[in-house]
Structure 1
Amino acid sequence: MKIEKEIANRKKEVSTLNRVHRNFPMVPKVVFGRGSFNQLGDILLPKRRNSDAPFIFLVDDFFNGKDLEQKLPWLFNDQIIFVSADEEPKTEQVDALVEKIKTDFEELPSGIVGIGGGTLLDLAKAVAIMLTNKGKSESYQGWDLVTKKSIYHVGIPTISGTGAEVSRTAVLSGPDKKLGINSDYTTYDQVVLDPNLLETVPKEQWFYTGMDCFIHCIESLNGTYLNAFSQSYGEKALDLCKEVFLGELSKEESEEKLMMASWHGGMSIAYSQVGVAHAMSYGLSYLLGVKHGIGNCLVFQHLSEFYPKGVKLFNEMKEKHNIEFPKGVCANLSEEDFDSMISVSLSMDALWENALGTNWRDKISPEKLRAIYSKI
């Protein structure tokens, strides 16, 4: 009960803080360049407290048995945990990993290293937080509910677009909602951006995740929360996305520019917000387990009413790269299923306010959302 009361009090404090200018953190250290992954051992060494305080590597299981595994700079009793990225990260998954780490080791790890796409990066951020905060991770889904600093954590993206490497949010699906742990302690302490790690990304996944970045930009740049800070990052990210998805770049140039677009796109929403596509995508993900990138694409194609220029560009990119989206995703859903998705979507107050303004509830309705979902 004590934890619940502390969180309730924190929510009241956040309500007040939201009325003033926010003092958001950024990633304090980042290394970029081909081959920069090889510096990881040197980066981690000064952070090792002792031989009994390991580093925990949370790695996309795609790399199990691959060259990357052999390059991990593990020492002493470091632990490598391979995690499937087939599903979006869940609060129960975070809690299970935290319990395992606390059971396996007598003292807290020296740090957590997340290696993979947005799923692994969000998972690693959440685990780093929950190793120092009591209770279950579902209790911290929301804005600024975390009260204790996380342990040192490093993010290494192996696919570009989500912006998870730079954001202050760890998006999780919980028992009642899909919502991020959004706090000053979520942001990574160190990020390693090595374009060489992008070489194995399949084409469709490259497109879906890249479109997550593109949609970040469109929703940020067209939102009511827009300001000079978010605009500067959003415009740069959008220009990079156009180069990558509509230009004629070499594979190497495309990898490097999309990695930078992801970084800038993530920064564009740090002092702003996303909008309609993300709010509705959360509903798809919560009910059907649709991965975030493809969920955004499935929704965004039907949002000309809200983002006409963005949807036009999106369709040009889709056509240029011959991408076909799944059809009939919502064809066999019950009324109860639609109600569940709509409820999750409409609970994203900040996203809707950014998209439509403070009176957003007068501009959107469950019936409109159902009509959009029924097209997917």
Structure 2
Amino acid sequence: MTYKNYPMVSRVVFGRGSFNQLDEILAPKRKGRNAPFIFYVDDVFKGNHWLTSRISLSYNDKIIYIPTNEEPKTSQIDQLVEDIILEYSELPSGIIGIGGGIVMDVAKAVSLMLTNKGQSKDYQGWDLIKNPAIYHVGIPTISGTGAEVSRTTILTGPVRKLGINSDHTPFDQVILDPELTKDVPTNQWFYTGMDCFVHCVESLNGTYLNAFSQSYGEKAFELCQEIFLEDHLSKEESQDKLMMASWHGGMSIAYSQVGVAHAMSYGLGYLLGVKHGIGNCIVFDHLEDYYPEGVAMFKKMKEKHGIELPQGICADLTDAQFNTMIDVALSLEPLWENAIGKNWKTKITRDVLLKLYKKM
């Protein structure tokens, strides 16, 4: 039996105000005046000097705002990489992603594609990246996706929505500053937090479960229950704990895998452009047959926070559109194997998925 030799984030700093240490963390990594740092910043912070005034730019450093109304596309990554190659004579000293899962995935993907030839769509899958990425840093401003710790970067390509899963994907440095999450709107906080909760449920109920993933998954699950079902936490404590839940949830799936909700959510994302967190919620709401206890708890959380999920998003789809979503979902074989077991193909038929999608 071979065991996964799993790459971790090699450096992490945690604490309120730790974002202020960005300069001193980056300084030793600068390769010279022609090798800039590129900062990809969630465009929600455009004009928000509270955050951007703390990024000090030297030489040719640049802030680029990344729109987050839709998930990253392979064509977008290729364009960002080309922009850097055309503008600078040397490779950047580093890529820094400041934002939610979308922005962190963009930073990871660009840092990989600067050192690997061709188009990013050619690397969607498992272990296709050959060369190490350039130095890259992740700074989450919302908690739950686990993107800050994962070995994947989720991209929508011409034919599928699938991550670049590789040992070179994880960040070299992560800064976890819970203060950066202070202005997240309630709905967004809930959907992204539920991404973490669903990670835990799928990991803890999966056939890939082992003591490593279980220890992280149980901690994240416990934190999610405390944050979303109990009333004793201050806003600051809740922010701190959700940031830790996100990290632990990400670590849990790193050494196992996600399951049914994620596989089906990729279908919604690919066809309808539904964002990942809310997509997971829409799917998970209908998965009592697979995760009865987790779904019951999710419904309680939803009620407690007054969250109304979109209904009927698949109501007017054609057979061809349903088939596209089903194709995307079924292509994620490791997720189904984790959720159902080696014989998953006998249980997860196109008809089973069609019935589920029609409920959404």
- Which residue of the partner structure matches residue 201 of structure 2? 218
Whole-angstrom CA distance in 2 between matches of 1:294 and 1:288 = 12
The alignment status of 1:113 with 2:96, answered yes or no, reads yes
1:357 Cα shift?
0.4
The count of residues paired between Structure 1 and Structure 2 equals: 358
CA drift at 1:65: 1.1
- Paired residue for 1:45, among 12, 27, 39? 27
Please list every run of 5 or more consecutive structure 2 residues that lacks an aligned counterpart in the other structure: none
1:320 and 2:304 aligned: yes
Alignment of 1:54-73 (within 5 A): 54-66=36-48, 67-73=50-56
Shift of 1:73: 2.2
Aligned to 1:6: none
Equivalences for 1:248-263 in 2 at 5 Å? 248=231, 249-263=233-247
Residue pairs, 1:164-243, within 5 angstroms:
164-243=147-226
Aligned-CA RMSD value = 0.6
| SS at structure 1 position matched to 2:155 | strand
Matched, 1:333 2:317: yes
Structure 2 counterpart SS, 1:71: coil
% same residue:
66
Partner of 2:327: 343
CA distance in 2, matches of 1:167, 1:287: 24
* Cα displacement string for residues 209-251 of structure 1 (whole angstroms, at most 9, x for unaligned residues): 0000000000000000000000000000000000100011111
- Opposite residue 253 of structure 2, the aligned amino acid is I
What code does the residue aligned with 1:263 have? W
Residues 149-182 of structure 1, C-alpha deviations (whole Å, 9 max, x = no match) = 0000000000000000000000100000000001
Deviating above 2 A after TM superposition, structure 1's stretches of 4 or more consecutive aligned residues are none
Listed one character per residue, the Cα deviations across residues 187-207 of structure 1 (whole Å, up to 9, x for unaligned) are 000000001100110000000
What amino acid maps onto 1:164 in structure 2? A
Counterpart check, 1:301 vs 2:285:
yes
Amino acid at match of 1:214: F
**How far 1:100 sits from its partner (Å)?**
0.2
Q: Distance in 1 between matches of 2:349 and 2:191?
A: 28
Q: Which amino acid is the alignment partner of residue 90 of structure 2? A: E
Superposed CA deviations along residues 316-336 of structure 1, whole A, max 9, x for unmatched, are 100100100011111110010
Shift in Å, 1:284: 0.2
Which amino acid letter does the alignment assign opposite residue 330 of structure 2? L
Out of 65, 68, 81, the residue aligned to residue 82 of structure 1 is: 65
Secondary structure of 2:202 counterpart: helix
Write out aligned runs for 1:148-167 (5 A): 148-167=131-150
Q: Does 1:91 align with 2:74?
A: yes
Q: TM-score w.r.t. structure 2 length?
A: 0.99
- What secondary structure is seen at the aligned counterpart in 1 of 2:163? strand
Report the Cα distance in structure 1 between the residues aligned to 2:260 and 2:343, rounded to whole angstroms.
15
Unpaired runs of at least 5, structure 1: 1-18
Match of 1:246 in 2: 229
Q: Indicate whether 1:100 and 2:78 are aligned.
A: no
Aligned pair 1:34/2:16, yes or no? yes
Equivalent-residue separation in structure 2 for 1:295 and 1:237 (angstroms): 20
User: What per-residue deviation string (whole Å, max 9, x for no partner) do you get for residues 268-316 of structure 1?
Assistant: 0011000000000000000000000000000000000000000011001
**SS state of the match for residue 154, structure 1?**
strand
Cα distance in 2 for residues equivalent to 1:22 and 1:196: 34
SS at match of 2:53: helix
> Does 1:375 pair with 2:359?
yes
Partner of 1:3: none
The secondary structure found in structure 2 opposite 1:57 is strand
In 2, Cα distance between equivalents of 1:366 and 1:250: 46
Q: Which moved more, 1:167-176 or 1:61-70?
A: 61-70
